[in-house]
Amino acid sequence: MPQQEDIRLVDIIAGARPNFMKIAPIIRAIEARRAHGSCLGWRLVHTGQHYDARMSADFFEQLNIPEPHVNLEVGSGTQAEQTAAIMVRYEQLLLKERSQLCLVVGDVTSTMACAIVAQKLCIPVAHVEAGIRSGDWTMPEEINRMVTDAITNYFFTTSEVANQNLRHAGVAEGRIFFVGNTMIDTLLANRPRFRPPEFWNRQQLSAGQYVVMTMHRPANVDSEQSLRAVLQAIAAAVRGLKVVFPVHPRTAKTLAALGAVPSNLLLVDPQPYLEFNYLVQHAKAVITDSGGVTEETTVMGIPCITMRNTTERPETVSIGTNELIGTDPDRLAPTLEALFDGRWKRGGIPPLWDGKTSERIAERLEELLDAAVA
Ligand code: UD1
């Protein structure tokens, strides 16, 4: 077993809900290597960007993620307030106890903020899910991706399109590692554990007889008018099916101001991982503005309708079951008609989305850190 002074400490940063499913398998893969004498060590830093049990703790529990070593407890705020709070507190942590590498995942505010802090302290940064781009600068996530990748040392990618984006930005080939998708590691590992939510029987849901919807992007949910139009269009186009709608806290604020919603919409709290993916796996279709959900529906072969104009995950459209229809609610009726008429593509699974991505990442991290101290 390696001595304490030989351990190479990797900070694993997690801040918001979509980060948790990405880090869980990476921690497990590092632990597996440690059990075989690896020098890799890890410290889990939760920034506290998401803090509600339903947005955070439920995921730790269901995905068996260990308690974070540190919680920066930054809480809510504007983009700048959150970024600043995370930076100040993460810098304090690193000044007290440095790590040898900072591993960030995805595209949330915590991803960008911690990458900047680490790199300014000359701690190398590894970015999981690097290189994806929507081209839409109105999304905070796109700014987060661009800034993070501008100061990343090691790029772990999910697709050939991401590799190309990085090459075009001048990233040297030797720093790009095409490893696949850690979110899919979590999906495949937990699929046998998916379970119905407590309202399944009470609401008389059955496989293929309902639609799932999620909606939380500012462009879709911050205005009452646009959210109302979307909800009415969906409710009218689903041929009487129920629409199960786990409501994100951001969306809940606008919904509260809307008053009554169409009666076939079933508004529920944000669902834990196992229940949410049970709902998706048995749905007739999913309507969403999320990115991660389009990857999960692709792997589960469930038709997915994305209400955005762009996607940073084009393989979910070119290979998978996803269709981008834009944000105009009028597009919903013809799209759902195609679905009900059985005119939906079958879809395939993108390369390396095979459940082994985190093992490839852990192996590569060990090589990179070994080379750094050699
Ligand atoms: C963030 C991510 C987004 C991700 C989404 C998933 C950024 C820029 N965006 O957006 O990429 O898809 O998470 O959920 O990082 N709130 C709570 N409880 C919580 C967390 C948030 O009530 O646990 C409230 C906040 O006070 C705020 C709103 O929800 O009013 C939005 O939260 P915020 O973290 O700012 O961004 P998200 O929209 O969740």
- pLDDT tens, position by position, 178-214: 999 999 999 999 999 999 999 999 999 999 999 999 9
pTM over 0.75: yes
- Tens digit of pLDDT for each residue in 30-70? 999 999 999 999 999 999 999 999 999 999 999 999 999 99
Residues 6+ apart with CB under 8 A from 133: 142, 145, 146, 165, 312
233 Cα to the center of ligand 1, angstroms: 25
Is residue 18 within 6 Å of ligand 1 at its C-beta? yes
- Tens digit of pLDDT for each residue in 106-126? 999 999 999 999 999 999 999
Distance CA 52, CA 66 (A): 17
Dihedral (Cα; 270, 275, 278, 284), 10-degree rounding: -30
Q: Catalytic amino acids?
A: 216
Q: Which amino acid is at 153?
A: N
- Tens digit of pLDDT for each residue in 308-353? 999 999 999 999 999 999 999 999 999 999 999 999 999 999 999 9
pLDDT of residue 349: 98
pLDDT of residue 269: 97
Has residue 219 got a pLDDT over 90?
A: no
Nearest residue CA, atom 7 of ligand 1? 108
Distance CA 89, CA 72 (A): 6
CB 316 within 8 A of CB 233: no
CA atoms within a 13 Å half-sphere pointing along the CA-CB vector of 8: 24
What is each CA distance from 292 to 5, 245, 299, in whole angstroms? Answer: 38, 16, 11
Has residue 128 got a pLDDT over 90?
A: yes
51 Cα to the center of ligand 1, angstroms: 10
Q: Which of 50, 47, 93 is nearest to 72 (CA)?
A: 47
pLDDT of residue 2: 80
Nearest residue CA, atom 32 of ligand 1? 250
Is residue 108 within 6 Å of ligand 1 at its C-beta? yes
Q: Is the dihedral of CA 70, 74, 80, 84 positive or negative?
A: negative
Distance CA 321, CA 316 (A): 6
Q: Which amino acid is at 128?
A: V
Among 17, 50, 56, which is best to mutate for testing ligand 1, by the most ligand atoms less than 8 A from CB? 50
Nearest residue CA, atom 39 of ligand 1? 250
Q: Is the dihedral of CA 245, 159, 167, 11 positive or negative?
A: positive
